[in-house]
Amino acid sequence: MRNKEMWIAGVLGALTLTGGCVEAPGESAQEQAVLTGWTAAQLRTAAAITSNGPSTETIVLVGIRGYPNLIADAGTFRANQGLPTLVANQLQKEDQNGGAMVPTYDTAHPNFAKEQALLLQGAMVACPACKYLVIEADSSSASDVGTALSTAFGAGDLVAGTTILPATAKTTIDPIINGKPSSVRLLWGAGEAGFQATAPYPTSHLSVIGVGGTQLATIVGGRGFSESVWGNSGAACDSQTKPTGEPGSAFCSTHNIVQVSAPAQNLQSRIPTSATVSVDADSDGIAFAVGLVAGERFARSASFKLADVYTLSAKFDVTTGNDGSCGDARCQGATAYDGPTGQGTFDMTGL
């Protein structure tokens, strides 16, 4: 068995509840933010999620650099959001080689740790009972991310990430993705730069299920929520030949990188601000959307191949909003299928 950093059942013993929120040691109630973003309960209702998911399935998440508070913050987030308490070994962390030598926190690039937080917390909202394995690459270099992906592909059949890499990484990363087991599904966020002329990588890889972001609003009647395109969500009509079965030929005759989406704006979260300090915050982030979709995969019983996503019918269509000024469905919400949100968001009642 590979050496892993395990979740320890006693870790939450150092945390106390204060006024309905979790207070970490040294953090006074006065210092805690009053959050107004979407709660886990609201996000689950919006997607019609009623199951906690299977406790036998593992969601493998790929992050960059270290996040020392990851395990403690996960427990705090779940307590804040009324999610079931983590059980022993439910959340584990490894280095890029599958060992315990996890990298340190990157003070020059704090968003690396924030992305890990949002990615994991999104997955926990959609599938609280799932197991989670976070693999931390030593850096954002193609070599290190490639090593982390190779480890991830051997650890579970659902792998998700969100860090956008330079196009030059294709030489290293493409062979690794091409060589993954056929049973492994790879989700990747579309970035937060809006509609782009050049597709972000590795989201643009033809075997990746690209994830876009939406923003929620409450409405009276029906589902109780409406969704529109999140303005920062990445989108692109790539130059690669459109895969067989991929919709959207009317606005993108080649490969559209986003196939499905989830809320990514104004989300209650627990994020690190340094190697030792974390805070409760309302956050925006495509990483949270990727985590939600990853969790939703195990909260549903249907298959999750790209071909199934291409023909998805149990969905909430996103027909309004935009992430750019292209003038058509490449960057605008549209009926049935569009560039920024793909098929839209999952309606779990039909899956």
What mean pLDDT do residues 81-97 have? 98
Chain centroid to Cα 57, Å, comes to 17
Query: Structure pTM?
Result: 0.91
Q: Which two tokens stand for residue 141?
A: 């270099």
Bridging pattern class, strands 91-95 and 5-6: antiparallel
pLDDT of residue 97: 98
Read off the pLDDT of residues 177-202 as tens digits, 9 standing for 90 and up. 999 999 999 999 999 999 999 999 99
d(CA 7, CA 4): 9
Partners of 86 in the β-ladder: none
> Domain 5-350 falls in which CATH fold?
Rossmann fold (3.40.50)
Phi first, then psi, for residue 228 (nearest 5°) are: -135, 170
Mean pLDDT across 89-94:
98
3-state secondary structure of 112: helix
Judge whether residue 12 has pLDDT over 90. no
Show me where the domains of the chain are located. Answer: 5-350
Give 282-322 pLDDT, tens digit per residue: 999 999 999 999 999 876 655 678 888 998 888 999 999 99
Q: What is the mean pLDDT of residues 199-210?
A: 97
**Three-state SS string across 220-255, please?**
CCCCCEEEEECCCCCECEEEEECCCCCCCCCCCCEE
Tell me, what's the pLDDT at 304?
A: 77
pLDDT tens per residue, range 142-158: 999 999 999 999 999 99
Residue 252, pLDDT > 60, answer: yes
Residue 160 scores a pLDDT above 80? yes
198: amino acid identity, one letter: T
